[in-house]
Amino acid sequence: MTDRIRGRWAKGGKQDWHTFPTWTVRVRLVNGTRRAFIKLPSGDWRWRSVWRWEQWNGCSLPRGMNVHHKDENTLNDAIDNLEVLTLAEHMQRHRDTLNVAKQGAYVRRSYDCVCRYCGRDFVAGQPKGVVCNDQPCRTKQNTEKSMRWQRKQAAAQR
């Protein structure tokens, strides 16, 4: 039942986006932020915040403008919570959260490592970092990987 053909249901029991009825609202993750999309009668999916602003103001969103959520809750699309800003203004509003990220609250963790080949210290994004970014060290690592793969293939053929 969950894998019916002709697009009614996709693998895993999830319904294809094009089969949803008009005015359906779906919440999706976009760049790590939950966003609400709405299906229009034309079959297109639009961000609900942009669609709401356009319906309220009776015109399309001007080119180069962004809809900003005043309370920074991207699912709160009430008209009094929406305002239109240029990209520069929008980035200025979010500068505080960007500065917090620069201070390390949301930045990906880094690890101090020692290169297996040249012995130099370097910073890696994963605790298993064993090779620095120098070309000779990378070449040695890739050569070792290919040699291991070839030995594994040869052993499998025996």
The span from the CA of 39 to the CA of 70, in Å, is: 24
The owner of tokens 């040249």 is 118
pTM, two decimals, is 0.53
Spatial separation of the C-alpha atoms in residues 25 and 49, rounded to whole Å: 11
Q: What are the E-state strand segments in the chain?
A: 25-30, 33-39, 45-47, 65-69, 82-86, 111-114, 121-124
Fold category of 11-102 in CATH: Homing Intron 3 (I-Ppo) Encoded Endonuclease; Chain A (3.90.75)
Tell me how far apart the alpha carbons of residues 33 and 49 are, in angstroms, rounded to a whole number. Answer: 14
Domain boundaries, the chain: 11-102, 111-157
Question: Is there a contact between 115 and 131 (Cβ–Cβ < 8 Å)?
Answer: yes
pLDDT tens across the length of the chain (158 residues):
333 444 444 455 566 666 788 888 888 888 778 889 999 998 888 999 999 999 999 999 988 899 999 888 889 999 999 999 998 888 888 776 665 555 555 455 667 788 888 888 877 766 666 787 788 888 888 888 888 888 888 888 87
Q: How far apart are CA 8 and CA 65, in angstroms?
A: 36
